Amino acid sequence: MSFLKEIERRRTFGIISHPDAGKTTLTEKLLLFGGAIQEAGAVKNNKIKKGATSDFMEIERQRGISVATSVLAFNYHDKKINILDTPGHKDFAEDTFRTLTAVDSVIVVIDVAKGVEEQTEKLVAVCRMRKIPILVFINKLDREGKDAFDLMDEVEKKLGLTVTPMSFPIGMGYDFQGIYNIWEKNINLFSGDSRKNIEDVIAISDVESPELEKIIGQKPADKLREELELIREVYPDFNREDYLDGKLQPVFFGSALNNFGVRELLDCFVEIAPTPRPKESETRLVDPKEEKMSGFVFKIHANMDPKHRDRLAFVKIVSGTFERNKPYLHVRQGKNLKFSSPNAFFAEKKEIVDISYPGDIVGLHDTGNFKIGDTLTEGEQMSFKGIPSFSPEHFRYINNADPLKSKQLEKGVDQLMDEGVAQLFTLEMNNRKVIGTVGALQYEVIQYRLEHEYGAKCTYENFPAYKACWVKPEDPKNEEFAEFKRIKQKFLAKDKYGQLVFLADSDFSIQMTQSKFPTVKLFFTSEFD
């Protein structure tokens, strides 16, 4: 198959939502339809240690939440689907924000009873800022929840979207009978049996036909006709260009746990979703159809297999083809690297691949060469934009609880920081190490992983900081900067890459510093010009 055909086949997307909206369950059901797995795991039932297919780490299985983005791929209708299942929990939002740099579109999952929640608002705001095409899946229809029209209104108001329903529920909660598929003009009847892989689909070309009463009954048929009439009057018709430009968001209804409404979503998605999109680098816009390979690291995962102490760097291929054993330039380090066993992911299995195309995610075994945001090319000096570190909101000193294991602790902290799990700051004054995270739950994850993956134990104590500000003086040699360093020495640290950081203890302190030292610029992300 030709290079351009391979690009046309790719669909790379992320699934985002507030925790517990059913994101991981939806991922699993998509894999089930793609034939990538044979049966669904008991996702939320923590008593069953099986866990969802996409929850790799032991701590995820214990707590029933996803803490790291997982990458899954399968083929469906001759399309190659790459899914990035992201953590919904706000304490792991940074991982999700970075993953959104690697997707071409997203599916937002919303719980029918809870509606739009806080974390969903934040994630959708990032998608809108980056003009990522969004598709909405309203989940858990078999439970009592809000009215379908009220939910769509809420999505429009709270998320600032313009929606158009592509399927619509027949009844809700206890009265839920099935879904009318507006996109394909058929009815899918709900049996409530989650073990069924494919449901009963009845084609119905005309909702005015008396056939409808025979299938769902007189009252529900009349109600459905009224609702479809209202949809035609109120909501815009689906237009693919508007969807791809981020101006229109299709909405689907279903119940992922019961494997219902997922096929409609997937069938429509493979038709309308974007193929790999061009990506902005610091020097130019890179088109996927270019012959030369370029890609960037958006995630690093240590110890996917704790027995082998391996680290995988996840690379999104932006242009050209990535070939096994071919040397590529690691732009930041300025050296050529070859990869003898690049991995692709099919459900839980990793496979070595000889060639990957734009849109694909490749896992590269890493001995410590990569950090988040690194670019690989065939020689061109460029790096992709928009993969910053965010200012942490929680800070703690990290102490070694087992002096005999200081090497293991150092190595473990070093590798976990490379993953972007948290950020390490070394105080200028006494070289003590401070760990900064976006969410407090990260400290538990770090402690757990240090002990179980590196055999090291740590304790924490509070460090009184409010925010990390990266420091950039207009002139490093002027007196003002020297004065700033003298006065703030207790609060100055270096990050992992040697950049100077001011660990401010309050918002007031940041404002005072900015007015007192106007030539010393402060930034809340590590990526600045």
Residues comprising the binding site for GTP? 17-24, 85-89, 139-142
* Structure token pair of residue 269: 């998605």
Residue 230 phi/psi, 5-degree rounding, is -60, -40
Length of the chain: 529
Pairing of strands 343-346, 335-337: unpaired
| Residues contacting residue 458 through CB under 8 Å, at least 6 positions apart | 398, 399, 400, 401, 409, 413, 446, 447, 450
* Structure token pair of residue 125: 């705001």
| DSSP output for 327-349 | -EEETTTTEEE--S--EEEETTE
Cα separation, 207 vs 221, whole angstroms = 8
Residue with tokens 């050296």: 335
**Residue 442 identity (one-letter amino acid):** Q
- Which stretch of DSSP H or E encloses residue 159? helix 148-159
Burial 384-409 (b: 16+ CB within 10 A, else e): bebbbbbbbebbbebebeeeebeebb
Residue 62 phi/psi, 5-degree rounding, is -70, -40
Residue 41's Cα: distance from chain center in Å?
A: 21
Beta bridge partners of residue 471, listed in sequence order: 522
Q: Is 361 helix (H, G, I), strand (E, B) or coil?
A: strand
- Residue 109's closest CA among 101, 98, 117, 97? 117
**How many Cβ atoms are within 10 Å of 166's Cβ, its own excluded?**
21
Residue with tokens 């999109």: 277
Output the CA torsion 33→35→39→45 (10° steps).
-60
Are 183 and 166 in contact by the 8 Å Cβ rule? The answer is: yes
Q: How far lies 520's CA from each of 110, 276, 485, 524, in Å?
A: 43, 40, 10, 14
Binding residues: 17-24, 85-89, 139-142
Pairing of strands 343-346, 10-16: unpaired
Q: Is 27 helix (H, G, I), strand (E, B) or coil?
A: helix
* Structure token pair of residue 137: 């899946």
* Structure token pair of residue 322: 């990535």
